[in-house]
Structure 1
Amino acid sequence: INGLEDILLYMYNQNKCLPFLYLEDGQYIFIGNYKDPVRHDETCEIEDNSFQIILPIESILDKNYFVNSKGVIEYRKPHCTKCNSRKIIKKDSNFKELFLEPGVPIKVKVKRYYCKKCKKKFQVEFEKYYDKFSNFSNSFKDNIIKCRQHGWMSLRNIKRQIKDWFNLDFSHESIRKALIVEGEFYYFNEYVKLSEYYGYDEQCEKVSGNWIYYLVLFDLVNNVPVASMLSDELNMNIIKNFIDVSIPYKDRTAIVTDLKPEYDDIMKELKFVHQHCTFHLEKNIKNNMKRKINKDMQYRRFELKNTHPEYSDYQLDEIIKEEKKEVKDEIWEYIAEFMTLFKQDNLDDAIEYVNFLKEEIKYYPQHLAEYLKDNFFPEYRKYLRFLEEDYKEKLECTNNKLENFNGNTMPKFEKKTYRTRRGLWSALMHKNDGWIIRRNEDLTS
C-alpha cells in the first residue's frame, strides 16, 4: 500500500476505521451510530452522508502525521505553515471532510494550532495528497484529467461522467481548476532518450481574437514528443531558439520539416541534415495545380460563352465540369508517376529515376512540368536525404508521425474551442500525456 490515501481507503474497506502503519498499544475504534466513540460527545454527530472515521489511538500514519490519544490527527513535527516558526500552541480540533479516490466521503479530526510568532492560526493539512482548500485528493483529480487525455470533453460532460462514476456532484469550477496546468508555456520530455532524428512543425490557433502558435519537436524513432511551446508570435529567431534549447548539439543528426523556405537557413545554422517532407511536396503540387486548372477553366468558360452564345449557364457549367475532370485526372496520373520517385530502394535508384523524369518532363502537362522545373529539380536532393546510407531506416521522407500526433492533440474540430491561452495549453499537455501513455502501452503489449 503506497500513500496516505491508499492506506485510508484500504482500512475503510477493511473495517470502516482509518488506517495506520504502526500501532502502539492501541485498538481499533469502531463507529457507533455516526458518533465520536472517543469522547462520546453528542455534538460530534455528523448529520450528512459522510462516514465519521476515527483512527486507532497513537497510530502513526507516516513520517508527517500521527493520531493522538483522542483520535485527532496531528503533525509529528509541527511548524507554522505561514512563517515556518516552531513556536506554536496546540488548540482544539476540527472535523475535516475528505473524499477518497473512489468518491468515498469520510470525516476525520485534525489538530488546530496557533503560532506565537506571526499570530496566525492553522490546522493539519495533507499537502502531499490534497491541494489546499480541496476536499478531493490529487489521485481523484487524476480521473478528471484522464477524461481529457484521449480527446476533447466539455466541463459539463466531465461533471456528468463523475456523477455516473462516483455519484458525486463536482462543481464546474473544481473541474476547471483540476484541469489547469500551471507553469510556463514550454514542455520538454525529460524521460525520452533522444534518437537524433526529429520532425518539426507548428500550428496556429485563435484565442480571444489573437493568434497563438504551437511549436512541436517530435522524435521520429521513439514516436514521442520531445518539446513543445506556445508563442504569441512566430519568426526565424523564435523557431531557431526553440529547437536550439530543446535539442543538445550532441543529439542532432537530421530533421524533417515542411517546405517553408526559412527552415533551410535555420537547420543549416543548427547543424541538422534537413529532409523536406514529401507529403507536403505532393500536397503543394496538387494545390498549385488546382489553382492553375481553375484559372484555365474560367478562361475556357468565358471563351465558350462568346463562341456559343446559345449555351445556357447550366450547359456551360456541365461542359466545364467534364473538361475540368479530364484535365485533373490526367495531371493526377502524372503526379502519381512522379511520386514513385520516393518509393525507390536506394539513393542510386532514386537519382536514376530523377534523370528519367528529366527526360520525360517534355511529355508532362504544361503546368506540372513548369512546377517541377522551377521548384523540384533545382533542389531535389533535399527530398532524398532519407535514402542516404547514413540515415536510412531512421530518417523518414515524410513528417507523418508528427502530423498524426498533432492530429490527435489538436484536431481541426477542436480549434476555436479554447477561450484562454492557459486553457489551450492545459488541454494540449493532457493529450500529450495521453499519447505517451498509449505509446508506452504499445511497447509493453
Structure 2
Amino acid sequence: MNSKKCVELAGLFLGSIRKIAYKIKKDTGISVSRQTIENWILGYEIPKKEVKNLYSGYYIFDVGWIKLNGFWNYRFALFDSKQNIIVADEIYSKENSTNIQKFLEESTRNQKKIAITSDLDEKYKPIIEGLEFTHQWCLFHVFKNINKKIKEYIRDNELSDDELENIRQEKLEIFSLFNSKSFKEARTRMDEILNQIKDYSKVIQSIIMDSLMPYFKTYFSYLLDENIERTSNKLENQFQKTFPKSIKRIMKIKKGAMSRINIRIEILNQIKVFDS
C-alpha cells in the first residue's frame, strides 16, 4: 500500500484515520499505522492548474461549519455555477466581514465578475456588490425566511380561520412572483400588489415593504440573466460530497481538514472529466 493509494482511499472513504487504517487492513491484509496515514494525508499537495481566464464569472458563495479540535470553524467556498467546479475553498476561525472580503477578493482576482448567488446573511450583500458583482439571493432561503416570518406572526397573534386562509393565499401570491417569465413581469405584478397593499395582512405588508421592495433586484436578478443561479443548491451538494456531516466533528487540525477536502475535490473532478 503506497501513499498515493492511501490518499485516494482517504478521499473515497470519508471516515476517521482509525477507520481508514481498518479498511486498508481488511481489504489488503496490510497494516499501516494511523500516524503514517495522517502524514500521507497532510503531505498532500493540490495539483497546480492554469487558472487564467478559466472561470465563467457566475458563482455561488456559501459558508459551512466544521469542528477542529473541539472548536467551531468555518469553511468558505466559491463555486463556478456554469462549470460546476469549486473555485476556492478555505477554512477560517471566524465568519466575519473581513475574512469574507479577503476570501472573495482573492478568489476572483483577475477573473470575470458577473454574479454571485448566496444565502440571506446580511454581511454578504455589501461585500459582493462592493466587488462589482450582481448579487442574487438563494430562493430556497428566501422562501424559508418568508415562511418563518409568517409562522412567527401566526404564533404570536390570535387569528381566525378566515385570517389564516387570507395569509396563506397572500403568501402564495408572493411566491408566484418568482415564477414570472421576465423581470418586467415580476415588477408589474409587484406594482399591482403595491396599489392594494393596505388590503393585505400586516405580516405580508411587512414582508413586502421591509424586504421585497427595498431589495427587489437582489430577489429577481435571475430574471435579468438566465445564467445566474436561483439557489445555492449546487454548492451545498458539493459540501456534502466533499465533507459530509459524518466527519465534520472528527477533524483535529486545519491542514488535515483541508487536505481531506482537497483530495475529495480532486477525485470528483477526475470523475467528472472521465464522465464527460
- For the superposition of Structure 1 and Structure 2, which TM-score range results when normalised by the shorter chain? 0.7 to 0.9
Out of 164, 175, 186, which is 1:350 matched to?
Answer: 186
- Asked if structure 2 preserves the Cα contact closer than 8 Å seen for 1:151 and 1:431, the reply is no
Match in the other structure for 1:278: 139
Match in the other structure for 2:8: 146
One-letter amino acid of the structure 2 residue matched with residue 405 of structure 1? Q
Instruction: Tell whether 2:261 aligns with 1:428.
Output: yes
The 3 A distance-change label for structure 1 pair 440 and 364 is farther
Instruction: Tell whether 2:95 aligns with 1:234.
Output: yes
TM-score (norm 2): 0.84
Instruction: Tell whether 2:205 aligns with 1:372.
Output: no
Match in the other structure for 1:396: 229
Q: Deviations over 1:360-404 (max 9, x none)?
A: 65555432332222111222111111111xx32x11222221122
Secondary structure of residue in 2 paired with 1:384? helix
Match in the other structure for 2:130: 269
Match in the other structure for 2:83: 222
The 3 A distance-change label for structure 1 pair 365 and 415 is farther
Out of 357, 363, 382, which is 2:218 matched to?
Answer: 382
Higher relative strand content:
1
After TM superposition, the structure 1 = structure 2 runs for residues 3-402 of structure 1, keeping only pairs within 5 Å, are 103=1, 140-150=2-12, 152-181=14-43, 190=50, 193-296=54-157, 331=167, 334-359=170-195, 361-362=197-198, 364-388=200-224, 391-392=225-226, 394-402=227-235
- The CA deviation at 1:145 is 2.4
- Asked if structure 2 preserves the Cα contact closer than 8 Å seen for 1:277 and 1:398, the reply is yes
- The CA deviation at 1:190 is 4.4
Secondary structure of residue in 2 paired with 1:194? coil
Please give the root-mean-square deviation of Cα atoms over the aligned residues, in Å: 3.1
> Any gaps of 5 or more consecutive residues in structure 2?
none
The 3 A distance-change label for structure 1 pair 407 and 294 is farther
- The CA deviation at 1:195 is 0.4
Secondary structure of residue in 2 paired with 1:200? strand
**Whole-Å Cα distance in 1 between the matches of residues 212 and 47 of structure 2?**
36
- The CA deviation at 1:152 is 2.1
Identity over the aligned pairs, expressed in percent? Answer: 25
TM-score (norm 1): 0.55
**Whole-Å Cα distance in 2 between the matches of residues 188 and 356 of structure 1?**
54
The 3 A distance-change label for structure 1 pair 148 and 365 is farther
The 3 A distance-change label for structure 1 pair 151 and 397 is farther
Tell me how many residue pairs correspond in the alignment: 275
Secondary structure of residue in 1 paired with 2:229? coil
- Asked if structure 1 preserves the Cα contact closer than 8 Å seen for 2:66 and 2:72, the reply is yes
- Asked if structure 2 preserves the Cα contact closer than 8 Å seen for 1:198 and 1:254, the reply is yes
Higher relative helix content:
2
Structure having the higher Rg: 1
**Whole-Å Cα distance in 1 between the matches of residues 265 and 194 of structure 2?**
44
Taking CA–CA contacts closer than 8 Å with sequence separation of 6 or more, which of the two structures ends up with the larger relative contact order? 2
**Whole-Å Cα distance in 2 between the matches of residues 206 and 362 of structure 1?**
48
The 3 A distance-change label for structure 1 pair 369 and 409 is farther
Secondary structure of residue in 2 paired with 1:195? coil
The 3 A distance-change label for structure 1 pair 414 and 167 is closer
